[in-house]
Structures are given as structure tokens and as C-alpha cells.
Amino acid sequence: MAKEEDLNSKIIGILLRLKEEWYDREFSKEELLDDEKRPGYLIITKFNHQKKSHTKNLVGGTKHPLVGSIIKDDLPHLLRDTLLYTDGAIVIGKDKVLHRIGARILNNVHPSTIAKRLQKEEEEDESRMLGFAQEVNTRHVNAIYASWIMKGTTVFTMSAKTGEIRMYKKGKIRYSTIPEEIQEREKPKKKIILVSEIKDRRRKKNPIPFPL
């Protein structure tokens, strides 16, 4: 669990730095960038190639030399430079193997189906129905769908239009740079304290005098 949280924090941290670099500062007229040149991401982690619910909902991907390699400390470089303008999903396995680059999510479920699962009322605006505070494109709709249908995965997006960053689990927005979108905060796991640890703490607080 700690490793998973570390990876989630690392990805969000990298995307936040990119957001600051590409969206949160003012550009001069000479360096003004259009939407097509700004980065947008869809990242799936904890992918399991042995699970049918994972593999049947993903198609395609580019033949990239990095596919099959293990991601170690080079994730910032990969997202910042190598995979900056990837069209499609970047898929990372539970073992941190880069499984696919540029994969497409097969979304055959209407947003209202997911909304019912999330116990949300149907609305005309599909984006709001799924919990988004603003209208979003298919990248974000597919991401929330993927996190719901591909059990056990965590999905991240960064909008190429606004730079907003989101993390999804089980069809819910668990992190967002728009705080009101967060549908359910994860509760920290309770640490199990062993009896031996309690005794050690007591000894440190009330040390036993050295015998004379």
C-alpha cells in the first residue's frame, strides 16, 4: 500500500510541476502556446495483463522502445520529455512495467450507468453527472470509466485545455486540483501496533534503572 501511495504522490507531484510550468504562468506573445502544444495526460497504473477486465477494455498502443521496460526513478523524465505529447493512455503495471503507450480505452457504457453506481442524479450535462465541476472531454470521461471497469487500477488525467489534474479510483474522483470535485477522500489505513512495540515505547518513556 505504501508503494502504491508513493507512486500516486509521485505522479501527482510531476503533473503539478508541469501544470505550474505550462498553465499557471503568463506567456509572452512570442512564446504563447496553443492547446495542441500543451501537454495532456491519461495515465493508468496497477494494470494487470492477466485480468480480462483490464485487457479487454484497452486496445492499441504505439510500438515504442520503452514498452516492456521497468519504470524506476526516470518517471519525471518520461512524462516531461519522452512521453510529453502522447495521444492515448500510458499504461503502467503493478510491477511498474510500462505495458502500453498510446492505448485507447473502449468505453461502451453510458455516463448515466456510472452515475447510478455513484448514486448521483441524472443530469443533462454528462460531465456534471459524473462529478466534474466543468465540462470535460472524452479523456476524462474515459478515465473515470476505466477506473470503474478496470478493477484495482488508479487513473490520472491532466487536461490539455486547462491543466487541471485528477486522480480516479473505482469510478470516483479521489484527487482534483478543483477541490469541490473530490467525491471521496481515502481514509488512511490504521497502523497495527504490536505488543512488543508498546513495551519498547514504555521502556523509552520510563527506562529501567541500571542494576547496581
Distance of alpha carbon 126 from its chain centroid, rounded? 21
Q: What is the rounded CA–CA span in Å between residue 37 and residue 17?
A: 17
Per-residue confidence (pLDDT) for residue 146, from 0 to 100 = 93
Q: What is the rounded CA–CA span in Å between residue 2 and residue 7?
A: 9
Tens-digit pLDDT string for the chain (212 aa): 556 678 888 899 999 988 888 887 665 555 555 545 677 899 999 999 899 989 998 888 877 888 888 887 778 888 877 777 678 899 999 888 999 998 999 887 777 777 777 666 667 778 888 889 988 988 999 999 999 999 999 999 999 888 999 999 998 999 999 999 998 665 544 444 455 555 555 555 555 443 43
Per-residue confidence (pLDDT) for residue 208, from 0 to 100 = 45
Going by C-alpha positions, the residue among 145, 195, 199 that lies closest to residue 170 is 145
Largest CA distance in the chain: 82
Going by C-alpha positions, the residue among 53, 153, 62 that lies closest to residue 106 is 53
List C-alpha distances in Å: 203 to 68, 193, 211.
50, 16, 15
Per-residue confidence (pLDDT) for residue 212, from 0 to 100 = 35
Q: What is the rounded CA–CA span in Å between residue 38 and residue 60?
A: 23
Residue 94's CB: how many other CB atoms inside 10 A? 15
